[in-house]
């Protein structure tokens, strides 16, 4: 999977990594914060909120560090923790279709709130769905 993509915004072609297209560190932090703020306040996301610690600060940082490297920016997560091993790290938590859908709903809302450009949103939605679905470890 190439992290370089080309989008057209206002008829101006733009090419770069997802990290760059999302606004680098500032844009990714805005996306991550919008994601966890949504998870914390939306009653429809109570299922996945309950899988997290009372304070979301550590989760925010880990997700931000992960997304930086995943999107083509600095490998902050890898430097701190080694390989992400996403599925293995999430196996202790019951993740079914409901949790997957709650996670995706939070992310869709966060992308809207963070004003992620539509072509980038489409790319991220596809990638996030594939990953979230792969994380399921419960039937249904």
Q: Flag whether pLDDT at 64 surpasses 90.
A: yes
pLDDT in tens, 96-122: 999 999 999 999 999 999 999 999 999
Asked whether the beta carbons of 7 and 120 are under 8 A apart, the reply is yes
Quote the pTM value. 0.87
Q: What residues does 12 pair with on adjacent strands?
A: 9
pLDDT over threshold 90, residue 7: no
pLDDT exceeds cutoff 90 at 129 = yes
What number does CATH give the domain 4-134?
A: 1.10.490.10
Q: For residue 6, is pLDDT > 50?
A: no
CB proximity list for 15: less than 8 A, separation 6 or greater: 4, 5, 6, 7
Q: Across-strand partners of 6? A: 15
> Is the pLDDT at 27 greater than 80, yes or no?
yes
Distances (CA, A) of 19 to 48, 74, 80: 26, 9, 19
Query: Where do we find the tokens 């297209």?
Result: 21
């Amino acid at each position: 999977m190439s992290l370089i993509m080309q989008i057209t915004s206002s008829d101006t072609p733009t090419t770069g990594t997802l990290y760059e297209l999302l606004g680098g560190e500032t844009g990714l932090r805005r996306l991550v914060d919008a994601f966890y703020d949504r998870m914390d306040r939306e009653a429809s996301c109570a299922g996945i909120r309950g899988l997290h610690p009372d304070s979301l600060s550590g989760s925010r940082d880990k997700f931000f560090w992960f997304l930086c490297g995943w999107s083509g920016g600095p490998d902050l997560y890898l430097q701190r923790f080694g390989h992400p091993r996403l599925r293995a790290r999430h196996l202790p938590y019951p993740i079914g279709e409901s949790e997957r859908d709650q996670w995706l709903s939070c992310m869709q809302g966060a992308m809207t709130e963070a004003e992620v450009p539509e072509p980038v949103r489409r790319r991220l939605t596809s990638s996030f769905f594939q990953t979230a679905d792969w994380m399921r470890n419960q039937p249904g």
